[in-house]
Amino acid sequence: MVLRNGADDLENAALNGSNPVNGVPNSPRGGIRRAHSARIVPGSRLSSALEDLDVEGDEKNSRKSRHQAVVSGLAYCASSCSMILLNKYLLSGYNFNAGISLMFYQNLISVIAVVILSCLGAITIEPITWKLVRVWFPVNVIFVGMLVSSIYSLKNMNVAMVTILKNMTNIVTALGEMYLFGKHHNRKVWGSLLLMVLSAVAGGFTDLSFHGVGYAWQILNCFLTAAYSLTLRKVMDTAKQATKSGNLGEFSMVLLNNSLSLPLGLVLILLFNEIEYLSTLPILSLPTFWLVITLSGLFGLAISFTSMWFLYQTSPTTYSLVGSLNKIPLSIAGIALFRVPTSLPNLLSIIFGLFAGVVFAKAKMSSK
């Protein structure tokens, strides 16, 4: 599934404002042009023509960079929204109650897709060794719990309220950073977090489709997601030392996370006796069901690809802000597509929560 922390080299490239795809500062072509320009008399017609070519080239590169940033951003938003909406459709439209099996199948699709891309030479991945598995397994347990709790909360809640309650993850993460790493946040950040709490409470009180079990799963998901993000960075640094190359890219992390989740998922499937449930399920004979569940797995993998592409084309701050803004169309689509019963107070609390998410993203930007 999706890892929200980009690879170190991509983050550094974004933060430094460089882009190896759209024009390396020390490219050979630029060096040749400067060498020829050194022999040209300033003010001559040839000199002016070369200057015009330089300006035109810079403008083309700038337009190309903006175009790729927009396309990558739209691709990231589309894959993220599609993944959540397809999962909701699977869980509610087909009344599918085997959340662990859904997680297992989606992760299996991701593993197969990454292995195929690696065999084709499209991506490079680190070989999985026992040393790497021992380092990564503890965080993978949290990863599996995060995915399963997310599926069950989405099963019992509407998309808009899941989106709003996910903001609570930011609060748990901020407190964890403060107590575990001694990180301090400014007043804008704490103010936006307070807005998130108020919007979540208001949303719960005004939710016409309130489901206590769904809210319990989502609260658990917030803590697991925060724990995952807090431990991931430390585990990533340790895991890099366990690799042969000393590096662990995002595709390698996707393969590692999803591969390790498969045996753990099988144990949970047996423990919760989902096999018996699946054996009597008539929808497993429907081709449309398998099409939708396979697409959901591919979209889960697409989030990893598009998020890394988008981060590469822009910056972590832009990535964070777009992620917050992305919740707005997702909430609207969730209410419209699944005909969620709602009221004016509930709609206002949802809008309030979405606004708080944007404020939080901007506050985090200003604190860096």
Digit-coded pLDDT (tens) for 188-224: 888 888 888 888 888 888 887 888 899 999 999 999 9
The confidence score (pLDDT) of residue 105 equals 95
The confidence score (pLDDT) of residue 259 equals 94
The confidence score (pLDDT) of residue 169 equals 87
Give the CA dihedral 321, 325, 327, 332, nearest 10 degrees.
180
What b/e sequence results for 273-299 when a residue is b if at least 16 CB atoms lie within 10 Å of its CB, and e otherwise? ebeeeeeebeeeeeeebeebbebbbbb
The confidence score (pLDDT) of residue 31 equals 43
pLDDT tier, 62 (very low <50, low <70, confident <90, very high otherwise): low
The confidence score (pLDDT) of residue 22 equals 35
Provide mean pLDDT across the span 7-32.
Answer: 37
Provide mean pLDDT across the span 329-358.
Answer: 85
The confidence score (pLDDT) of residue 15 equals 30
149 neighbors 213 (Cβ within 8 angstroms): no
Residue pLDDT, tens place only, 114-158: 999 999 988 888 888 899 999 999 999 999 999 999 999 999 999
The proportion of the chain whose per-residue pLDDT surpasses 70, expressed as a percent, equals 80
The confidence score (pLDDT) of residue 270 equals 94
List Cα–Cα distances, 267 to 44, 107, 286, 294, in angstroms: 76, 15, 26, 22
Residue scoring higher pLDDT (166 or 54): 166
pLDDT tier, 9 (very low <50, low <70, confident <90, very high otherwise): very low
- Name the one residue in this structure whose structure tokens are 């989502």: 218
Residue scoring higher pLDDT (93 or 313): 93
Provide mean pLDDT across the span 340-348.
Answer: 84
Residue scoring higher pLDDT (40 or 161): 161
pLDDT tier, 243 (very low <50, low <70, confident <90, very high otherwise): confident
- CA separation for the pair 225, 218 (Å, rounded): 10
Q: Parse the chain into domains and list their residue ranges.
A: 70-366
Residue scoring higher pLDDT (51 or 111): 111
- CA separation for the pair 229, 368 (Å, rounded): 18
The confidence score (pLDDT) of residue 143 equals 92
Tell me the residue length of the chain: 368
The confidence score (pLDDT) of residue 64 equals 61
The confidence score (pLDDT) of residue 260 equals 94
Nearest to 254 by CA among 295, 221, 302: 302
pLDDT tier, 111 (very low <50, low <70, confident <90, very high otherwise): very high
203 neighbors 346 (Cβ within 8 angstroms): yes
Provide mean pLDDT across the span 299-312.
Answer: 81
The confidence score (pLDDT) of residue 28 equals 41
- CA separation for the pair 111, 255 (Å, rounded): 6
Range scoring the smallest mean pLDDT among 95-104, 105-114, 255-264, 321-330: 321-330
Range scoring the smallest mean pLDDT among 53-57, 92-96, 216-220, 232-236: 53-57
